[in-house]
């Protein structure tokens, strides 16, 4: 691990670029017999089966990419565009939803390394009178232990009509925080884990206040450019995905109809969920993060210090841990945004990573199925077929939402 911070300050000298170098990728192929880090070989046949199942359950398309010590496995099922029938491809860009939270956390932890922010300081020290309780710290925000109400519970209580009401709307951070403060807080600061998009709206406001730049600029200078994430963008409040992308479809009610949700501002999420990326770029990001190339070793340790959520999940600072059936733990984040489910996780050392995406949402059966991609990628043929009954349903967006 490097002990210094890679950020806008060190901006991109030769030393930084060498630290961030990503191993050359080999051609797509079947799994090798084992891996240097002791993980079972990925079960690519099983992974293809998971994607087929997701499509049979209502996802127009599904895709996955594994990067494993320089070997790349890619697989796809179904379509990226229901109107044209174009096949989904792992080169396509898509909305990553709450995986954005990990990017936002990286920026803030870099600011901690730069001595511009303290994790245990009250948020109100940096943003006076923003929150009604001076006990809420930056650490509470990043670990979902602030007690701030998740305003998306109300916003998307009816998924389709709620979405259409905000599809083209542009919010300020403070407007979103005001929506959160209308709701009853879930717990006292630090007392319990309770997932809330409001926390990472506060994170975005902190980034902009401390740096004097937009989150887009900070993402670009600190993460996108150094890692050469050429498919990764923050376009808010533009509604378009640049370049080649897979369209996203929101399931509308019990009859299985679809609403094309691709074009939207995602202003209801912003620094909590508005980044666009690709399977390659997310794997590159997670490998760099867990490999210790985006922040000091001390900050990475804090990011990985977890609060147990249930028997298979824990949450650190903008980072999830999933404990798999074979005893392996993986680190990353899930992402739910209208039209897309994303699972982006890597091994503890960052040397094996997977990003798996289905281009649908409001379909919890598909969401549960996509969780099984982690088992195939990290447990191989040792995966237990019945694992996956406990997953974070709706936690990334509107935990209590119902379908229209």
Of 359, 209, 182, nearest in space to 271 by CA? 209
* Other CB atoms within 10 Å distance of the CB of residue 401: 18
Query: Do the beta carbons of residue 61 and residue 77 sit within 8 Å?
Result: yes
Catalytic-role residue among 3, 8, 18, 98:
98
Phi, psi (degrees; rounded to nearest 5) at 198? -60, -30
Residues with Cβ within 8 Å of 125's Cβ and at least 6 positions away in sequence, in order, are: none
Distances (CA, A) of 103 to 219, 260, 325, 344: 7, 26, 28, 12
Residues with Cβ within 8 Å of 164's Cβ and at least 6 positions away in sequence, in order, are: 259
Q: What is the DSSP letter of 268?
A: T
Distances (CA, A) of 150 to 138, 200, 394: 17, 10, 12
Query: Do the beta carbons of residue 155 and residue 171 sit within 8 Å?
Result: no
- Asked whether the bond before 237 is cis by omega within 30 degrees of 0, the reply is yes
How far, in Å, CA of 150 to CA of 396, rounded? 10
Does residue 311 sit in helix, strand or coil?
A: coil
How far, in Å, CA of 373 to CA of 343, rounded? 8
Does residue 317 sit in helix, strand or coil?
A: coil
Let me know the angle formed at the C-alpha of 219 by 213 and 223, rounded to the nearest 5 degrees: 135
How far, in Å, CA of 371 to CA of 51, rounded? 11
Distances (CA, A) of 176 to 4, 182, 268, 334: 34, 10, 7, 22
Strands of 273-384, DSSP E = 276-277, 307-308, 313-315, 320-323, 329-337, 340-346, 352-358, 360-361
Q: How many residues does the chain have?
A: 404
- Asked about 376 being catalytic, the answer comes back as no
Tell me which residues are annotated as active site. 98
């Amino acid at each position: 691990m490097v002990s210094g911070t890679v950020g806008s300050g060190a901006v991109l000298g030769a030393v930084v670029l060498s630290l961030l170098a990503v191993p050359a990728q080999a051609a797509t192929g079947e799994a090798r017999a084992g891996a240097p880090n002791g993980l079972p070989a990925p079960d690519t046949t099983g992974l293809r089966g998971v994607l087929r199942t997701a499509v049979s359950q209502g996802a127009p398309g599904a895709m996955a990419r594994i990067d494993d010590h320089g070997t790349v496995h890619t697989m796809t099922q179904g379509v990226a565009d229901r109107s044209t029938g174009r096949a989904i491809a792992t080169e396509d860009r898509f909305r990553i939803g709450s995986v954005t939270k990990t990017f936002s956390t990286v920026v803030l932890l870099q600011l901690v390394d730069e001595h511009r922010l303290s994790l245990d300081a009250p948020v109100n020290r940096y943003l006076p009178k923003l929150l009604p309780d001076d006990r809420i710290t930056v650490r509470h925000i990043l670990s979902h232990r602030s007690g701030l109400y998740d305003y998306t519970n109300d916003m998307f209580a009816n998924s389709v009509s709620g979405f259409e009401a905000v599809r083209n709307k542009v919010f300020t951070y403070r407007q979103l925080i005001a929506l959160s403060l209308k709701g009853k807080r879930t717990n006292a600061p630090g007392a319990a884990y309770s997932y809330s998009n409001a926390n990472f709206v506060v994170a975005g406001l902190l980034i902009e206040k401390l740096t004097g730049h937009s989150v887009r600029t900070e993402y670009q200078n600190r993460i996108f450019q150094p890692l050469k994430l050429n498919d990764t963008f923050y376009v808010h409040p533009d509604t378009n995905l640049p370049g080649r992308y897979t369209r996203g479809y929101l399931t509308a009610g019990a009859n299985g109809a679809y609403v094309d949700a691709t074009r939207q501002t995602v202003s209801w999420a912003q620094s909590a969920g508005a980044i666009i990326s690709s399977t390659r770029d997310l794997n590159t990001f997670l490998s760099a993060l867990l490999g210790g190339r985006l922040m000091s070793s001390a900050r990475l340790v804090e990011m990985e210090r977890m609060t147990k959520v249930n028997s298979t999940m824990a949450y650190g600072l903008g980072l999830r841990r999933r404990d798999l059936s074979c005893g392996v733990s993986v680190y990353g984040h899930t992402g739910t945004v209208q039209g897309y489910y994303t699972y982006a996780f890597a091994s503890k050392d960052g040397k094996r990573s997977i990003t798996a995406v289905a281009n649908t949402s409001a379909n919890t059966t598909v969401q549960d199925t996509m969780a099984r991609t982690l088992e195939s990628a990290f447990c191989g043929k040792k995966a237990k077929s019945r694992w996956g009954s406990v997953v974070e349903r709706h936690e990334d967006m509107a935990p209590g939402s119902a379908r229209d």
